[in-house]
């Protein structure tokens, strides 16, 4: 699917207006080329701090830095044209105070060109969300399982299975919505709780391991494409690209070792007329000698 030159990005009001309507399609993205591929199909692309685990091999999202989030956010904005791009604020960059959160968020918006930021936390972060929104920073909330708190939580288990925890998560969701978050991610909570929260909130909910009743869904792109070795129970693999990559690289390695690659079709012959596209694919412009 191609994207026309006059395409308009999905906006914060567009997402807010989807409450109870057509479900919101969201995915994570960390690279320009993947953003380009998925952008025509998505309403939101989230540059998640999950990139620390998915792309950097970290054990959790806690070590992810602000500089890394900005670098990858820039790539996703460059690679996309339609979807609203949001960038996670990483652990330690916003919790100290609303003022610190604003400085971080302002830097992210300015340096990446994204539309919104996402931060984790409920009641305890409501004041910060209110502060940001009042100063022109669109915020996506995130409640339920909050990966940045893994050292306190102790595990990535699902939340909201007992009454006390249900009440806390429901209160968190209400607090961030009332503080001005334009939508709320609900991660890894019991299905009835996610459905109840969706009915209760005036803003859209986006589920990940939550409920089909949510106003939208998000998954980590590498998980749903079969590029991750281990994935949570709530992930449906829509492809097995990891296997395909292994097979393709295996074929390449075999041909190299057999001196079957490169063949004549993939090497340069004798002298050719010089021109502006010498050394490139026929009809293409670029910087690679192809």
Known binding site for Mg(2+): residues? 49, 88, 120
Known binding site: residues? 49-50, 88, 118, 120
Token pair in block for residue 71: 């670098």
Kindly indicate the confidence band of residue 283, based on its pLDDT and cuts at 50, 70 and 90.
very low
Which residue, among 143, 149, 124, has the nearest Cα to 61 in the 3D structure? 149
Calculate the alpha carbon distances from 199 to 1, 76, 126, 223, 234 in Å: 34, 32, 20, 28, 21
Quick one: pLDDT at residue 149? 82
Q: How far is CA 262 from the centre of its chain?
A: 37
Quick one: pLDDT at residue 187? 96
Quick one: pLDDT at residue 274? 63
Quick one: pLDDT at residue 88? 98
CA distance 234 to 39: 23
Assess whether pLDDT exceeds 80 at residue 271. Answer: no
Quick one: pLDDT at residue 289? 53
Q: What are phi and psi of 208, to 5 degrees?
A: -145, 105
* 187 labelled catalytic: yes
Give mean pLDDT, residues 151-168.
Answer: 80
CA distance 58 to 234: 21
Quick one: pLDDT at residue 230? 82
Token pair in block for residue 104: 């971080």
Quick one: pLDDT at residue 232? 85
Rg of the chain over Cα atoms, rounded to whole angstroms, equals 22
Please state, as a whole number, how many other Cβ atoms lie within 10 Å of the Cβ of residue 276: 6
CA distance 214 to 136: 26
Options 187, 277, 284, 290, the catalytic residue: 187
Kindly indicate the confidence band of residue 229, based on its pLDDT and cuts at 50, 70 and 90.
confident
Which residue, among 217, 226, 221, 154, has the nearest Cα to 187 in the 3D structure? 217
Determine the number of helices (DSSP H) and then strands (DSSP E) in the chain. 11, 8
Assess whether pLDDT exceeds 80 at residue 33. Answer: yes
**Letter string b/e over residues 32-62, b meaning 16 or more CB atoms within 10 A of that residue's CB:** bebbbebbeebbbbbbbbbbbbbeeeeebbb
Quick one: pLDDT at residue 3? 44
For tokens 């500089």, what's the residue? 67
Quick one: pLDDT at residue 269? 84
Assess whether pLDDT exceeds 80 at residue 1. Answer: no
Known binding site for 3-methyl-2-oxobutanoate: residues? 49-50, 88, 118
> What pTM was estimated for this model as a whole?
0.89
The top-level CATH class assigned to 12-242 is alpha beta
Strand blocks (E) in 112-188 = 116-118, 139-144, 183-187
Which residue, among 124, 142, 131, 26, has the nearest Cα to 82 in the 3D structure? 26
Q: Where are the domains of the chain?
A: 12-242
């Amino acid at each position: 699917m191609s994207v026309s030159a006059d395409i308009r990005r999905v906006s914060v009001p567009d997402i807010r207006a989807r409450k109870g309507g057509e479900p919101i399609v969201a995915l994570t993205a960390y690279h320009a080329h993947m953003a380009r591929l998925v952008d025509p199909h998505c309403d939101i692309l989230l540059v998640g701090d999950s990139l620390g685990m998915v792309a950097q091999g970290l054990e959790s999202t806690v070590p992810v830095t602000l500089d890394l989030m900005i670098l990858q956010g820039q790539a996703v904005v460059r690679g996309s044209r339609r979807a609203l791009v949001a960038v996670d604020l990483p652990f330690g960059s916003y919790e100290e105070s609303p003022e610190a959160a604003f400085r971080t968020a302002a830097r992210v918006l300015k340096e990446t060109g994204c539309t919104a930021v996402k931060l984790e936390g409920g009641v305890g972060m409501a004041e910060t969300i209110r502060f940001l929104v009042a100063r022109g920073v669109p915020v996506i909330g995130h409640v339920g399982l909050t990966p940045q708190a893994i050292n306190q939580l102790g595990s990535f288990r699902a939340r909201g299975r007992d009454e006390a925890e249900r009440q806390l998560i429901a209160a968190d969701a209400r607090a961030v919505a009332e503080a001005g978050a334009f939508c709320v991610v609900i991660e890894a909570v019991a299905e009835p709780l996610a459905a109840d929260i969706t009915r209760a909130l005036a803003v859209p909910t986006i589920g990940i391991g939550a409920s089909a009743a949510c106003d939208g869904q998000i998954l980590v792109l590498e998980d749903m494409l079969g590029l991750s070795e281990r994935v949570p129970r709530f992930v449906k693999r829509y492809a097995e690209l990891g296997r395909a990559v292994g097979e393709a690289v295996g074929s390449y390695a075999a041909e190299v070792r057999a001196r079957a690659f490169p063949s004549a079709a993939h090497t340069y012959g004798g002298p050719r007329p010089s021109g502006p596209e010498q050394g490139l694919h026929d009809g293409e412009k670029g910087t690679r000698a192809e």
